Chains A and B, each alone.
Chain A
Amino acid sequence: MKILIKGGRVIDPASGRDAVGDVLVDGERIAALDNAARDATVDRSIDAKGLIVAPGLVDICARLREPGFEYKATLESEMEAAIAGGVTSLACPPDTDPPLDEPGLVDMLRRRARSLSRARLYPIGALTVKLAGERLTEMAELSESGCLAFTQANVPLDDTQVLWRALQYAGTFGFAVWLRAEDLSLARDGVAHDGEVATRLGLPGIPAMAETIALSRLLHLVRATETKLHVCRVSSAGGVALIRNAKAEQLPVTCDVAIHHVHLSEMDLGYFDSHCHLVPPLRSLRDRDALRAGLADGTIDVICSDHTPVDEDAKQMPFSESEVGATGLELLLPLTLKWAVETKTPLAKALAKVTSDAARVLGVKSGRLEAGAPADLVIFDPAAPFHVAPEALKSQGKNTPFIGYELAGRVRYTMVDGRVIYGEVRE
């Protein structure tokens, strides 16, 4: 089928293109842009006047909760949330039950995802068996099943010897390792950033040092092994500085930040709002500003949703006892737009953090809008109001600190593999 998307503001973050024009989709691929697109005879056309046409979002961390936590969310519910949020590719961490530590599980998950015909799913494999931090997984086998990288998700790996060997082994095959930097003993009892707010609220703290000390260790291991490291969910000013230096040193390091941390700080905990119980913790405003500076200068490559649906019962608990995480698939786009507006970041540059740069880190071909690229697109109205309310979210997780926010940006159409899977097609 040929579909012509007419008259939209077509943004391709990878090339920096930002101009009104047409996009022709032929089958599973983008066939042509602008003049080359216009003369084709098409089966359908979409009027995108006043809308933005961009590559579909690539979210490099979204928990779908399968297998094992189906009472929190299912592939069905979260894939609907993804496409409603314009996310056409997503990577899921292996912290499921059982963890994604063997090829059969990865196969099954990918098959389930394909049968739903929604967003593309890229499982990230477990780095160690059962994420226990002791034995290595069969990374090469897992890679053949479709794992694009290996990680411990939020499970700490304290043993430096195991970590070193894991990086060596992954590096042998050229696999990237994705790790969150958090010193286990400094973070163990904490539930909030160790700062003025935690002191006032009497919440056990996690110092920013927990990140910088762990990150220093990781960077030493990268120097030794030259294995590609992706640092997940950087949260502190010190962490950003270390990564900036590592990049200047030409270490093979990339990093991401969760969208919550781009906007919120410890101040948002208010009166013990368990929706702000996140991992890593929301840190100070100074840290948040450093994260924004890191996004601006390219130190931070990617923004992800860190989507974590949590059932309401698990959030209706005292702060320290509540389950961590926030839902985010449907908020990634509007919150990225909000950040772009607040920091006067050009839209193409902002969208790169959730499209082309995310695809680069993940190692997939999508996230671009050019002839020959996969036809994964999002068409959205950047000005349409989005009142964040539980009933407005398709995700089974309604847990987000942004409940009640008035955001802007609504997805009108989402296209994967040249098929419109979200939104109505008007002839």
Chain B
Amino acid sequence: MRNPQLNPAGELQHLLSIEGLPRAILNQILDTADSFVGVTEREVKKVPILRGKSVFNLFFEPSTRTRTTFEIAAKRLSADVINLNIAASSQTKGESLLDTVANLSAMQADIFIVRHVASGAPYLIARNVKPHEHVVNAGDGRHAHPTQGLLDLYTIRHYKKDFTQLTVAIVGDILHSRVARSLIHGLTTLGTPEVRVIGPQTLLPTGVESLGVKVFHDMKKGLVDADVVVMLRLQNERMRGALLPSAQEFNKYYGLSLDKLALAKPEAIVMHPGPMNRGVEIDSSVADGPHSVILPQVTYGIAVRMAVMSIIAGN
């Protein structure tokens, strides 16, 4: 079975998941993002790479941050951006996912940025678009959020240079996290020797070790000598459904405080995909402290998304 995100030449046709992408393509995206970081710091923040192309933001699930960063990225590449808040339109009228996409395709789309509550939805769309159209997964269910994973990789590379010497700890709700899955695949592909996941058993998916990670239930053990600490957002709804007793208890055992951070390496960086629940998974003293690279992550996110769109549009 051919990887559905690669074209017959083995180049990136769609970006659906980091899993299965060769190291060379990951490096190509990160290197290209490097060149765009310069653009975002210029006074005139535009390059003409996607001039005349249409990028459709197709968000079947609400999002502000990711949608906005895609929009900024597309505009800096000079593309026309159309935002569709599908949750409020055709889907509620009973139109099928593929009908929606076919209609937009008839409006001459070049790139679809898709977020959907169902894992795998972007694969279905990618299977049904025209050959010149591209799909970028902006988050599907619990499955993948590849541009977030790539911007996390970019941030780690920026601060730590060499993946092959690192210990990365990912903490919190791994079970529901597409961010964690994407980052894990990226880190293992780039040769990170130790990727740890830390959380209570209720928030770790069955057989998570098979993704190539070490499991810790005790955060204090899991953080020891970590170079990178990635905190995940804990949704309030996890308190329902018997996954967790309370936000307070979660904070005490799995929230990142200065005390716990002190167990990691002195020069460790702290990341978070946002939006943060201060006082739940991360204390303000850490989020705003010297180890935090949470805001640079957002900035790099734009460059990484520019890189992804420019590469797939050129293939």
**A contacts, CB < 8 Å to B:** 194-196, 198-205, 207, 270-272, 274, 313, 316-321
Contact = CB atoms under 8 A, between A and B. Distances in A.
Nearest to A204: B142
A205 B141 CA distance: 13
B124 A199 contact: no
Contacts of B262: none
Interface string B198-234: 0000000111101100000000000000000000000
B87 interface: no
Interface in B114-131: 116, 118-121, 123-124, 128
Nearest to A314: B96
A318 B19 contact: no
B97 interface: yes
Contact of A202 (B98, B178, B206, B207): B178
B141 A202 contact: yes
A202 B211 contact: no
Contact of B120 (A194, A196, A316, A318): A318
Contacts of B144: 202
A362 B196 CA distance: 53
A272 B121 CA distance: 9
Interface residues of B, number: 27
10 contacts: A199-B207, A199-B210, A200-B210, A200-B211, A201-B120, A204-B142, A207-B206, A272-B120, A313-B96, A316-B124
Interface in B27-70: none
A196 B208 CA distance: 7
B107 interface: no
Given A200-B181, A317-B97, A319-B118, 9 more contacts: A198-B206, A199-B211, A202-B119, A202-B141, A271-B1, A272-B120, A272-B123, A318-B119, A318-B141
B140 interface: yes
Contacts of B121: 318
Interface in B75-123: 96-98, 116, 118-121, 123
B210 A316 contact: no
A199 B205 contact: yes
A200 B97 contact: no
B118 A196 contact: no
Given A196-B207, A271-B123, A318 B143 contact: no
B4 interface: yes
Contacts of A198: 205-206
B124 A203 contact: no
